[in-house]
Homo-oligomer: A and B are copies of this chain.
Amino acid sequence: MPSFSPASGAGASVSVDAHLERVLAGVAPLARVERVPLADGSGRTLASSVDSRVDLPGFDNSAMDGYAVRRADVATATPLHPVVLDVVADLPAGSDADPVVGPGQAAHIMTGAPIPEGADAVVPIELTDGGTARVSIGAPPQAGHHIRRRAEDLSAGDRVLEAGVVLDARRVAAAAAAGLAELPVAGLPRVAVVATGSELVEPGGPLGRGRIHDSNSLLLAALVAEAGGLVSERLRLPDDPELLRDWIEGREPCDLVVFAGGVSVGAHDVVRHVLADLGTVDFARVAMQPGKPQAFGTLPGGTPVFGLPGNPVSVAVSFEAFVRPALQRLLGRHDVVRPTWPAIAEIGWSSPARRRQYMPVALRVRHGRVLARPASPGGAGSHLAAGLAAADGFAIVPELVVDVSAGDLVEVTVTR
């Protein structure tokens, strides 16, 4: 039986920032790039910047339903003394007609249709009698009024989307408008998630003495998907070093492995023992609550591996603080850490000295202020899986703060 000494191989205590830096130094963007049709782009990460292939708009066009006119013809028009013009064309959007508007003429034109040659202004239909053969114009338009100019939004060659952004509906639409049919996106990082512990039983399964239902493998798998990764394997392993070694050796090809549980200093913390034997995994006591014991390194072959503490809140916090940033880096995303937003603590709570606290909080808005309060009565207690469900994010309390008082400004990450 290994030593019980808590100091044995426990690693030095490091700050959250230092540990994150070590993690990020250990992962690089994946080289795999795919080209996907725009319809499949949402949620993917743009692998390289893309530029517009067209001018936007592509041609001078009408911003209104009305009449394209020569401004000089209607300069004197008033409601009492309207100018009457011959309507020489009817131009719906999508028309490929290419008429010329001469002196004394107008073209009936719909929003989006090209401004015909000769015309230099559009009179909205509301300022006319709406005539079809001849139209009576009751007011003079300003030069260029109601005309959207070619390329006023974007010119061909202008940057539309930067490498590293996450594609969503609006970015996909911008790419479509810019004449693109497909986009280069980062390959999906394949992530194996492994919950360890002989006490774990499949969800809903019968519980023997001392057994609990596994929630960590589902938590990790869903967090990986939310962060843009692809779960290559999801499994539970008992605290058996042989089974663990066998799995590591025979696992499906993947880009990242995440273990939950078994990284503390106890005799049965087999993830720690097996990973320590590899010699390529660091163990750190990170100055945070929850989530103190953290393992990070590589498996044989170079695959990055995390060993997270096993309590569900610790898993969720460790994922947010370290695994999610690593996944964002694998995806080539620029923003690997979620932004924090200011909120006002609705009630007070305490935080441990010299440790950064991640407090699950529920958020609400009152009178123009965002209010945060601990999501469960147990606060940051690391075994309160049910409380996690009520959290909208985490309040991140700095290392030097030991008391958060009602009314204090706190930084929150919104994860929902």
Contacts and interface: CB of A to CB of B under 8 A. Distances in A.
A125 B209 contact: no
Contact of A170 (B148, B239, B391): B391
Contacts of A158: 386
A215 B174 contact: yes
Contacts of A202: 181
Contacts of A4: 125, 128-132
A244 interface: no
A84 B246 CA distance: 40
Interface in A141-164: 148, 152-154, 158, 160-161
Contact of A265 (B65, B210, B211): B65
Contacts of A250: none
A203 B176 contact: yes
Interface residues of A, number: 117
Given A110-B267, A203-B180, A312-B173, A125 B93 contact: no
A57 B218 contact: no
A226 B169 contact: yes
5 contacts: A168-B222, A169-B219, A174-B215, A176-B214, A368-B409
Interface of A: 1, 3-6, 38-39, 41-42, 52-54, 56-59, 61, 63, 65, 90, 92-96, 98, 110-114, 125-126, 128-132, 148, 152-154, 158, 160-161, 168-182, 197-200, 202-205, 207-216, 218-223, 225-226, 234, 238-239, 264-268, 310, 312, 316, 339-342, 365, 368-370, 378, 383-389, 391, 409, 414, 416
